[in-house]
Copies of this chain bind each other. A is one copy, B any other.
């Protein structure tokens, strides 16, 4: 066995060639999406009215634990993968912990986050289906950027419905998407029926994610040759993200390293489940045991304080019902800077894993996440995305526990992205203006009442 390097990077011929679908190994499968009107499970026909065919096929079938990654997708993966597993030696030293801290770095691609891992296959399948374009919605800009990059790779048209306030304030994100050829639409727009309606009613609205979703869905259903692509929630997306965990596992095994604790930030759950699913699979099958922790913000605590029930995926209550841990579709999160962690629900897979006690969850404050981010930046030389900082915070906490107990645990987390587009948030941090938001018990209770009763 060679000496363990600081960065473990699989070679091209060591790259995994298949994704892992954890549903095949789950004893209790995630519940299907339901039609909000009929309360019946959504069919292939229902879903392909909006989404691409192959993605829907993957969403609806989960008999195979491993799914081949198409050659054309592998060709793109090879341009930025394998991503490194990095030992955070300087962070360990700073903390004075006997623990070994490892992180999988998913921020070194043009989209600056892990989102590209799923948008590449989604774009590929759309192209293969003969579609002419893909459409999605974006607020923080992560999904939008990944979508624009993936569409450029496959010569697809690309429409991004960007929440108006983000369109105006996140100019850098907007311009990256445009550089990659995307048509970035300030939502509500004047192109869609729903956009026109909302603009007429609320001319000065800053827009909302709910509205942007509705606009993107309208484009996907009414314009010829467009498919809606997704950044999270869908089981197919979580499966594509398993590339993170498969690479990590293989990289660590090369040096005989077994993680004791596995950590990821979670909103829909795509980067968290992407890292954790191959390890959870082993846990289910009794091959190995791991502590696996999903981290969410106190400002949006769907796992730790939400209800496990069927709920609407959108504020407008027009999208399908998903069985998930949810705060209620009417939840309006505080304006925290981890824009990717503001969703009211958790993906059906991660929700079921939590219900089955295969994973833990913890909610942390915004200030503690930024403190962890600053310490990480100064020691490891990487500016983390505010979302990823939630995972860093818990990794640090666990490493400090090891300092107390003297345990030499292996702590692994996923750095889902970098924070170079989040400097306004870091400016606030530098100026000591980051605030904490905690949802009150009254609010949790009030919102729970909006969750429909589905038998």
**A423 in the interface (beta carbon within 8 A):** yes
Check if A192 is an interface residue, CB within 8 A of chain B: no
Q: Once the chains bind, are B426 and A175 in contact (CB under 8 Å)?
A: yes
* Docked CA distance A382–B108 (Å): 9
> Which residue of the partner chain B has the closest CB to A380?
B79
Least CB distance from A142 to B in Å reads 13
Q: CB distance B2 to A79 under 8 Å? A: no
Q: Which residue of B is nearest A6, CB measured?
A: B78
A108 and B110 contact, CB distance less than 8 A: no
Find chain B residues with CB under 8 A from A152 CB. 377-379, 381
Q: Digit string of A5-23 for contact with B (CB within 8 Å is 1, else 0)?
A: 1110101110000000000
Q: Bound state CA distance, A380 and B80, in angstroms?
A: 10
A363-384 interface code vs B (CB 8 A; 1 in, 0 out)? 0000000000010011111110
- A423 touching B86, Cβ below 8 Å: no
Query: Which of A174-195 touch B at CB < 8 Å?
Result: 175-176, 178-181
Determine how close the nearest CB of chain B comes to the CB of A326; give it in whole angstroms.
35
Report the minimal beta-carbon distance from A380 to chain B, rounded to whole angstroms: 7
Evaluate contact between A172 and B7: CB separation under 8 angstroms: no
Complex contacts, A380 vs chain B, CB 8 Å: 79
A421: Cβ under 8 A from any B Cβ = yes
A420-B80 contact given A377-B110, A377-B179, A426-B179, CB 8 Å threshold = no
Do A180 and B423 touch across chains, with their CB atoms under 8 A apart?
Answer: no
Contact B7 A78 (CB under 8 A): yes
Given the interface pairs A171-B423, A420-B420, A427-B171, the reply to whether A382 lies near B179 with Cβ below 8 Å is no
Chain A binding surface, main DSSP class: helix
Selected from B9, B110, B426, the residue in CB contact (under 8 A) with A381 is B110
Q: Beta-carbon contacts of A310-343 to B below 8 Å, as 1s and 0s?
A: 0000000000000000000000000000000000
* Residues on the B chain within 8 Å of A5, using CB: 11-13, 78
B378 near A423 with CB under 8 A, answer no
A175 CA to B425 CA, complexed, in Å:
10
Q: For A110, list chain B residues within 8 Å (CB).
A: 377, 381-383
Assess whether A35 is interfacial by the CB under 8 Å rule: no
- Complex Cα–Cα for A76 and B6 (A): 10
Asked whether A3 is an interface residue with its Cβ less than 8 Å from the other chain, the reply is: yes
Provide the bound-state CA to CA distance between A123 and B430, in Å: 23
* CB <8 Å contact, A381 and B109: yes
- The answer, yes or no, to whether A437 is at the interface (CB within 8 Å) is no
**A202, CB-defined interface residue at 8 Å:** no
Q: Is A66 an interface residue (CB 8 A)?
A: no
A6-B79, A86-B79 known; A423-B176 Cβ under 8 A: yes
Q: Does A396 sit within 8 A of B, measured CB to CB? A: no
Is the CB of A149 closer than 8 A to any CB of chain B?
yes
Q: Find out whether the CB atom of B420 lies under 8 angstroms from the CB atom of A79.
A: no
Residues of B within 8 A of A149 (CB): 381
Q: A153 at the A/B interface (Cβ < 8 Å)?
A: yes
Asked if A6 and B2 make an inter-chain contact with CB atoms under 8 angstroms apart, the answer reads: no
Write the nearest CB–CB distance from A144 to chain B, whole angstroms.
Answer: 14
Kindly state the separation between the CA atoms of A9 and B377 in the bound complex, as whole angstroms.
24
Interchain CB contact (< 8 A) of A3 among B7, B13, B378: B13
Contact status B179-A383, CB under 8 Å:
yes
Q: Does any Cβ of B come within 8 Å of A429's Cβ?
A: yes
A416: Cβ under 8 A from any B Cβ? no
Residues of B within 8 A of A79 (CB): 6-7, 86, 90, 380-381
For the complex, give the distance between the alpha carbons of A312 and B110 in Å.
Answer: 40
Given contacts A80-B381, A110-B377, 15 further A-B contacts (CB under 8 A): A5-B13, A6-B12, A7-B12, A108-B108, A110-B383, A152-B378, A152-B379, A153-B381, A172-B172, A175-B423, A176-B383, A176-B420, A179-B377, A179-B429, A420-B421
| 20 A-B pairs in the complex with CB atoms less than 8 angstroms apart | A2-B13, A3-B13, A5-B13, A6-B12, A6-B78, A6-B79, A7-B78, A76-B381, A109-B381, A110-B382, A110-B383, A152-B377, A152-B378, A175-B426, A175-B430, A178-B427, A179-B377, A179-B378, A179-B430, A180-B378
